[in-house]
Amino acid sequence: MGDVILRMENIDKVFGSAYALRNINFELELGEVHALLGENGAGKSTLIKILGGIYQPNGGRILINGTEVKMTDIGEARAHGIGIIHQEIVLVPYLTVAENIFLGREPKTKLGLVDKKKMNAEASRMVSGLGLDIDVTTVLENLTIAQQQMVEIVKASSFNVKILVMDEPTSSLSDEEVEKLFDTIERLKNDGVSIIYISHRMEELFRISDRVTVIRDGTYVGTKITKETNAGELVAMMVGRTLESFYTRTYNEPGEAVLEVKNLCREGVFKDVSFAVHAGEILGFSGLVGSGRSEIMTAIFGADEYDSGEIYLNGKKIKNKNPMQAIDRGISLVPEDRKKQGLVLVNSCSFNMVLSSLKYVMNGILKSKKKISKLYGEYGEKMRIKAASPEIEVGSLSGGNQQKVVLGKWLATRPRVLILDEPTRGVDVGAKQEIYTIINDLAKEGLAIIMVSSELPEIINMCDRVCVVHNGNIAACLEHGELTQEIIMHYATGGEGNEG
């Protein structure tokens, strides 16, 4: 070790008016595995996209082997020996392994046709060179996810790669497959490839990395030699703030049950889901992605069907055939993906704000501009939306402001039950804090709130009670006092009993 192969200095990246990255420094030595650590939205993937030529930085410079380079596009980055393995597989599922590796640069015969023999032989050589045992004539979709990922690595390294970025490579791998991946990483390292390794899993970082750089909210926090640090120190660097002041939660005595769900089932998705949420209460729903949390909510909301079970609103049995009915009954759902499900991005802020509560802004059959601007004013202020004008496209706002428009839109329907699915996903810290304050205020006003979230600190600090969903079942319902990350994860991953 010793030679610095890559140096990113004072990197700035601005989206709209918000800094995604500010003054980031990152350094990679030859043959090192350097972990990049940070919370969701800290700016890791933005930094990687700048390195890969997908984004252009607004400031700072990139040096490779001491000379400044400009990564104008993906091809340029590749020419500098940078390979990126994304979280999702980006290969063609219906082509063979060899065809995927050589896609776009197939060896040709004299007639100009693809020289399959040569291609397969070359691909085999590469695959075995990394100590892998994969038949290169297999169609990709017949491989396991782990094998596909290995093919990605083979492909990336076939471009004479010097710097290999791996973005959460183990997120969908079994323990055994992770071991194989680590073997491959060791091999690459010995071949002189330097690796940037992004992962949330602490134990992996300590096994595989030589150094760790932590970024937080788009700024550089520090770099540590892995052997000389510990998980506690890294978490403190990552979080970097006292959580107590970040969340606002005033406890109120919950009122009567507003929404009750009994034995709700949908074949293969969720089973026997029962719970109740009370006025003034925030009920959390935790669980792994794909555990069925969101599907339970969309079923209650009438956006998806359920096979059996009962839903009671204020003691009266209801069944929402579609979202419209749910809205009329006073149930609102802030969906998890604001761009795909929450907003009509090409339309204006005020258009989106009133879309679900048009009945409040009509004069007869015509929309009243006055009423629209009054409603927008009221909820825009309540949500503290920062938009130049109510008429600008909502897609041009920052993530946080977009999320506030979605929240405002759903509050404008005047709900009694508010279901929030990942209410702070992809919003910056400042907006997060504001959203927490808003949610707390709403609970104070007596709204019954259900909050689905993957972020454990958020769940732990904001919720009165938490239902942990595992495989479509509510594995446990925990009271505020007994909430810790460990206990929630214990149930979310299928742990039994209360030994957590």
Partner 1 sequence: MKAKTSTGKKNILLNNPVVNVVRSNIGIICVLLIIGVLLSFLSDKFLTSSNLISVMRQISINVYIALGMTLVIILGGIDLSVGAIVALSGTVTVGLIVNSGLPIGAAIAIGLLIGVVCGFISGTMVAEFKLPAFIVTMAMMNIARGAANVYSGGRSTRITDEFFSSIGSGYLFKVIPLPVVYMVVLIVVFTVILNKTKFGTYIYAIGGNRESARLSGVPIKKVEIAVFTIIGLLSAFAGLVLSSRMYSGQPSVGDGYELDAIAACVLGGVSMSGGKGRISGTVFGAMVIGFISNGLNLMNVNSFWQLVVKGIIILIAVVIDSQKNPDSPISKMIGKFKRSSAKKAA
Q: Which residues bind partner 1 (CB under 8 A)?
A: 301, 303, 322-324, 326-328, 333, 335, 340-347, 351, 355-356, 358, 362, 365-367, 389, 391, 409
Q: Under a CB-based contact definition with an 8 Å cutoff, are residues 270 and 295 in contact?
A: yes
Query: What is residue 338's DSSP assignment?
Result: I
Nearer to partner 1 (CB atom), residue 332 or residue 424: 332
Query: Shortest approach of partner 1 to residue 327 CB, angstroms?
Result: 4
| Shortest Å distance, C-beta 107 to partner 1 | 30
184: phi then psi, degrees, rounded to nearest 5: -65, -40
* Closest distance of CB 394 from partner 1, Å: 10
The whole-angstrom separation of Cα 500 and Cα 488 is 8
What is the smallest separation between the CB atom of 13 and partner 1, expressed in angstroms?
17
Q: How are beta strands 362-363 and 366-367 bridged, if at all?
A: antiparallel
Q: Of the two residues 97 and 331, which places its CB atom closer to partner 1 in the complex?
A: 331
Minimum distance from CB of 294 to partner 1 (Å)? 12
Return the number of the residue (41 or 342) whose C-beta is nearest partner 1.
342
Nearer to partner 1, 224 or 329 (CB): 329
Residue placing its CB nearer to partner 1 in the complex, 221 or 407: 407
> What tokens were used for 167?
């973005």
The structure tokens 């405002």 sit at 408
Q: Which of residues 55 and 491 has its CB atom nearest to partner 1 in the complex?
A: 55
Q: What's the full length of the chain, in residues?
A: 500
266 in helix, strand or coil? strand
DSSP-derived secondary structure letter, 325: H
Least distance to partner 1 from the beta carbon of 363, Å? Answer: 9
Output 207 or 367, the one with its CB closest to partner 1.
367
Phi, psi angle pair for 304, to nearest 5° = -130, 165
Q: Which is nearer to partner 1, 267 or 391 (CB)?
A: 391
* Closest C-alpha among 216, 218, 206 to residue 237: 216
Buried b (16+ CB within 10 A) or exposed e, 50-89: bbbbebebeebebebeeeebebeeeeebbebbbbbbbeeb
The dihedral built from the CA positions of residue 289, 449, 490 and 261, taken in this order, carries a sign that is: negative
Q: Which is nearer to partner 1, 275 or 351 (CB)?
A: 351
Query: Is the distance from CB of 196 to CB of 166 less than 8 angstroms?
Result: yes
Q: How far is the CB of 376 from partner 1 (least distance, A)?
A: 14
Residue 224 near residue 234, CB atoms below 8 Å: yes
Task: Give me the least distance between CB of 340 and partner 1, in Å please.
Answer: 6
Terminal CA-CA length for the chain: 42
Q: Which of 443, 401, 406, 442 is nearest to 421 (CA)?
A: 406
Minimum distance of partner 1 from residue 298's CB (angstroms): 8
Contact in structure between 446 and 228 (CB atoms under 8 Å)? no
Q: SS3 for 1? A: coil
